[in-house]
A and B are shown apart, each in its own frame.
Chain A
């Protein structure tokens, strides 16, 4: 067989970022290759067997709105759908599902194979070949060389990965998988700023040895909330999770053995995520807490492996086992493999521009954990940004910019490239300034038009979306054309202020207790639309006042965001800026004045000075 060796885009690494990047590039119509160590680890969930969550669920919905693949695969392999924050307001609800690890990989692989212009290669990459500031090809273990116009590096925790279990150190990217060595040294030589982060994972348990009888169980939602706008029904069997707790005995064992944990013995110096603390951390930092919750999450319908969510640890193996025996329900548990902490290299994301292209190598993109993030969803979202933009660049088309005002993806990209990271970056809804506007339910309204505009969307999805928009608009017109008086409403049991002013049905929907069912019971000629559309209308009415306010804020934001700073500006020539601010501007090289203002320590006065300088030099130049 004749092995194809020249591609438009080569994606290195087939985790969540890599898969999404490869699919996005292929969807954009360029000749793409995804190269990884082996077929069996494509789409591997290295840590917890779940997709979505608060903030993260928003990201997956957005990926799906861009015709990405994570949402569909998560839906197909979902074994416990739960809409988090369902008792809270719509804007902060986060879809989540536990996914069957095996099914997830299976469907992900099938999905990737379905792209005809995407080649999958299984061969560890050992080296980049450079020509000046460009990568021309990569070399692999088998001695092959592959060339491409653009390269996307998505190596996750594999760059110089080092696993810690107690005082044991294993060089690895994931457990039992070889790390990627040498690549980060190559990047270092090119003056890339490289740092080191840490993350951890709990031990894995044999589910057949867990005594569930005494444990509280948590079920899936009765009505699943899917990630994908295309998914209509559940594909896999739904399961329940057990819940148990640590206790005083456990805490004492940990305290006694603290010095033996890699985290506390001094062997790990890098920073880990605060929102995902190890059990050691929880006990040291929250001494007063009597117990900590543990969710026992089955990893698959076909294996017995259980993921005990809440006790990530780097204690020695036998201590981990000792602890498990003291936990209710786990008295006889068999530990399949110990938990561990892993340290890995990451590239300072301030090295990247908004397309995730590195500023130093003109055809290299980085996506995923390599950029200092954590989480499958964050990785996949970066993958789609890098993949789409690499393809745009191959086709000599304009780059696609995701704005903070438009998507969580935009919030994340801007945070990464403008502020950098000091700990593994995770999405939270609190990071989004326009949270009430950027909801999980309207991800398609926000982003699918972009997919249509740049033509990386399947026909099915496109026509479905257009139909939805039409229905939505029709319904809005019907509702706003129907004008009623408060007295009529009062007669029918809808209490709104009797100010005598007539209102449209759309305006009435704003009120808390007014539902479309209620309206239909009064005005029987109002047609019924799909739940998706009805929910959207109700939600938007509910938030309308706040959304209007955010719209105004967004237009102010966009004004600043449209003020471009000349690319070749020499900050040293700008008089009146402090050296500190100059240094930061030189490092980040913000694209717009809006972005410049978001850099820590850059003041509005400095921005004014910069603006005047830019206008003045531009005038002289022209």
Chain B
């Protein structure tokens, strides 16, 4: 198993380093960079591509061949732009590799220890670092773990212990009077837990949106006024969070605060030339990009002919904008009622308030923002997703001769849940069994 993680501090910064360690590291580097040969300990400038050949970023990468690396295994470090979006997408791409997973806290150090590499480091300072790391984690955990969220998690944990103890009792005390109907008794409860966990995951995703900003793609033909619009919005609003042009060749990202919401505008290069998008094979890729966005702004110059192919992209999560209304035009936008276009002039600052209101409302309409997110770390999401996977696998087992497999699924589910809410040990299970069942002949 290879592990990866962001090695630099989280948050927006000029540069971010992502480290991959393990057997797969070399292959990962080859795939992402398309380099066939990679010299160890040499800084290479390269583009980084995802599995679908989409450019993620450009930057530096260095390959450290084992044992001459931090962990003692093969290590590749990618130096990329420190934007949240790029980092996140990069990590996501890495998690799509077989046998690669996000590292647990301290795992690089642990691997280094396993491989006897630690003597290269100042051990004392490392202790401090780990201490502060756990202290930070503790504080962060405490922040998230207010009374209500603790209740939610503890509740889940208790229910899982109860259900698992039912299964274990059927196995370990079958000669006592423990019922066989463990499957039917627990089915609904498991489904409910599963739904609850899914809900938590979803809330986490939504709240991530609050933290990281809602993605809005701006689509429109060249010279329809996309840049002017973005400039106009940025100037108008009080705080510009960042303005990072060209973190990738294709995407221009602008993050602004809009009515108290963090919003990230993306302008995809493909749409800068409207004729290209429909013709090039790249359309599916661009479409996927659009799917990832939370909202689309489709912008046309109202003095020019409307590109029908771009118009087709309009859906419920879209806002149609007609720009340059300061210039008179004989064009009539026929289907006003469907598209409800917002008429603006980015140049003359006309209609912008209305647009801002509309964007804000659209976000509110589509994303009931849950304030009660209780996921504090990225790896928690993964653990919860695994929990769901194993619960669902358990639910597929319905006959008593599969009780051992069903119990194994549940054990794995509980173990994954345990990574978030604290481990369940055998004694707790036994406590539960002895409390609920009259065991012992």
Query: Is A616's CB under 8 angstroms from B118's CB?
Result: yes
Given A53-B175, A92-B171, decide whether A612 and B404 contact each other with a Cβ distance below 8 A. Answer: no
State the CA gap A91–B439 with chains docked (Å): 21
* Beta-carbon nearest neighbor of B109 in chain A: A608
The distance from the CB of A296 to the nearest CB of chain B, in whole angstroms, is 11
Report whether A88 and B401 are in contact in the complex, using a CB–CB cutoff of 8 Å.
yes
Asked if residues B123 and A616 are in contact (CB atoms below 8 Å), the reply is yes
B401–A277 CB distance below 8 A: no
The contact of A92 among B113, B176, B404, B438, by CB within 8 Å, is: B404
The reply to whether B171 and A605 contact each other, CB–CB distance below 8 Å, is no
| Contact of B400 (CB < 8 Å), options: A87, A274, A600 | A87
How far apart are the CA atoms of A611 and B174 in the complex, in Å? 43
Contact call B408/A546, Cβ cutoff below 8 A: yes
Find A88's partner among B119, B127, B171, B434 (CB 8 Å cutoff). B171
Tell which of A428, A435, A604 has the most Cβ of chain B within 10 Å. Answer: A428
B438 pairs with A282, CB closer than 8 A: yes
A193-238 at interface with B (beta carbon < 8 Å): none
Contact B440 A89 (CB under 8 A): no
CB <8 Å contact, A87 and B123: no
Q: Which of A122-130, A260-268, A285-293, A387-395 contacts B (4 or more CB under 8 A)?
A: A285-293
How big is chain A's contact interface, by range?
Answer: 35 or more
**Those of A527-570 within 8 Å (CB) of chain B:** 543, 546, 549, 559, 563
Nearest Cβ in chain B — how far from A1, in angstroms?
47
Whether B171 and A611, one on each chain, are in contact in the complex, defined by CB atoms closer than 8 angstroms, is: no
A310 interface hit (Cβ, 8 Å): yes
Q: Which residues of B contact A559 (CB under 8 A)?
A: 114
From A87, A430, A605, B426 is in contact (CB under 8 Å) with: A430
Q: Which residues of B contact A429 (CB under 8 A)?
A: 171-172
- Give the residue of A285, A430, A543 whose beta carbon is less than 8 angstroms from that of B171: A430
Question: CB-CB < 8 A to B113: which residues of A?
Answer: 611-612, 615
Evaluate contact between B408 and A54: CB separation under 8 angstroms: no
In chain B between 149 and 205, which residues have their CB closer than 8 angstroms to a CB of chain A? 168, 170-177
**Contact status A615-B405, CB under 8 Å:** no
Q: Which residues of A contact B429 (CB under 8 A)?
A: 430
The closest CB in chain A to the CB of B134 belongs to A605
A54-B175 in contact (CB<8A) = yes
- Indicate if the CB atoms of A286 and B438 lie closer than 8 Å: yes
Q: Please determine whether B405 and A289 come into contact, CB atoms closer than 8 angstroms.
A: no
Complex interface bits, B125-151 against A, C-beta within 8 A gives 1, otherwise 0? 011001100100000000000000000
Considering the chains assembled together, what is the distance between the CA atoms of A277 and B437 in angstroms? Answer: 12
Q: Are B434 and A275 in contact (CB under 8 A)?
A: yes
In the complex, B52 has a CB within 8 A of chain A: no
Does A507 belong to the interface (CB within 8 Å)? no
Given the complex of chains A and B, what is the CA–CA distance between A294 and B170 in angstroms? Answer: 19
| Of listed B174, B401, B440, residue having the most chain A CB within 10 A | B440
Q: Tell me which of A430, A435, A612 contacts B123 (CB under 8 A).
A: A612
Per the bound structure, the CA–CA distance linking A88 and B402 in Å amounts to: 7
Complex partner residue of A608 from B106, B171, B440, CB under 8 angstroms: B106
Say yes or no: is A189 at the interface (Cβ < 8 Å to chain B): no
- From B114, B174, B403, B438, give the contact of A563 (CB < 8 A): B114
A576 on the B face (CB < 8 A): yes
Assembled-state Cα–Cα distance A276/B106 (Å): 44
A322 CB to closest chain B CB (Å) equals 21
A302 at the interface (CB under 8 A from B): no
The answer to whether A609 touches B131 (Cβ under 8 A) is yes
Does A88 lie within 8 Å of B404, measured CB to CB? yes
Q: How many whole Å from B24's CB to the nearest CB in chain A?
A: 15
Decide if B110 is an interface residue (CB 8 Å cutoff): yes
The reply to whether B116 and A615 form a contact with Cβ atoms under 8 Å apart is: yes
B441 interface contact, C-beta 8 A: yes
- Report the Cα distance A66→B291, complex, angstroms: 62
Q: A92-B171, A615-B113, A615-B119 are in contact. Are A430 and B430 (CB under 8 A)?
A: yes
Specify which chain B residues have a CB less than 8 angstroms from the CB of A619 in the assembled complex.
119
Complex Cα distance, B126 from A608, in Å, reads 10
Residues of B within 8 A of A89 (CB): 401-405
Bound together, the chains give a CA A428 to CA B113 distance in angstroms of 35
Residue on A with the closest CB to B171? A92
With A and B bound together, what is the CA distance between A85 and B114 in angstroms? 42
Q: Assuming A282-B440, A430-B168, is B408 touching A436 (CB within 8 A)?
A: yes
Q: Is the CB of B175 within 8 A of A612?
A: no
B439 touches A275 (CB 8 A): yes
Q: Is the CB of B123 within 8 A of A615?
A: yes
Report the separation of the CA atoms of residues A609 and B131 in the bound assembly, to the nearest whole angstrom: 8
With both beta carbons as reference points, the residue of chain B lying nearest to A295 in the complex is identified as B441
Query: Is the CB of A239 closer than 8 A to any CB of chain B?
Result: no
Q: Using Cβ atoms and an 8 Å threshold, which residues of chain A touch B400? A: 87-88
User: What is the CB-to-nearest-CB distance from B66 to chain A, in angstroms, rounded to a whole number?
Assistant: 16
Give A209 Cβ to nearest chain B Cβ, in Å: 21
A156 to nearest B CB, angstroms?
20
Cross-chain contact B177 with A293 (CB below 8 angstroms) = yes
In angstroms, Cα B429 to Cα A430, docked, is: 9
Provide the residues of chain B in CB contact with A293, threshold 8 Å: 176-177, 441
Point out the residues of chain B lying under 8 angstroms from A515, CB to CB: none
CA gap between A428 and B172 in the complex, in Å:
6
Within 8 A of B (CB), among A26-77: 53-55
User: Measured between alpha carbons, how far is A600 from B427 in the docked complex, in Å?
Assistant: 11
Q: Is A84 part of the binding interface, using a Cβ–Cβ cutoff of 8 Å?
A: yes
| CB pair B123 A88 closer than 8 Å | no
Q: Which residues of A contact B174 (CB under 8 A)?
A: 54, 84-85, 88
Q: Tell me how far the C-beta of A468 lies from the nearest C-beta in chain B, rounded to whole angstroms.
A: 24
Shortest CB distance A565–B (Å): 12
Interface centre among A53, A295, A609 (most CB of B within 10 A): A609
Specify which chain A residues have a CB less than 8 angstroms from the CB of B114 in the assembled complex: 559, 563
CA distance A273 to B433 in the complex (A): 13
Q: Which residues in chain B, 98-125, are within 8 Å of chain A measured between CB atoms?
A: 105-106, 109-110, 113-114, 116, 118-119, 123-124
11 new A-B contacts, CB < 8 A, other than A53-B175, A612-B127, are A55-B172, A85-B171, A87-B401, A88-B404, A90-B404, A273-B440, A294-B441, A295-B441, A310-B440, A612-B126, A615-B118
Give B contacts to A, CB under 8 Å. 105-106, 109-110, 113-114, 116, 118-119, 123-124, 126-127, 130-131, 134, 168, 170-177, 400-405, 407-408, 412, 425-426, 429-430, 434, 438-441
User: Could you pull out 8 A-B pairs where Cβ atoms are within 8 angstroms?
Assistant: A54-B173, A85-B174, A293-B176, A293-B177, A546-B405, A611-B118, A612-B123, A616-B123
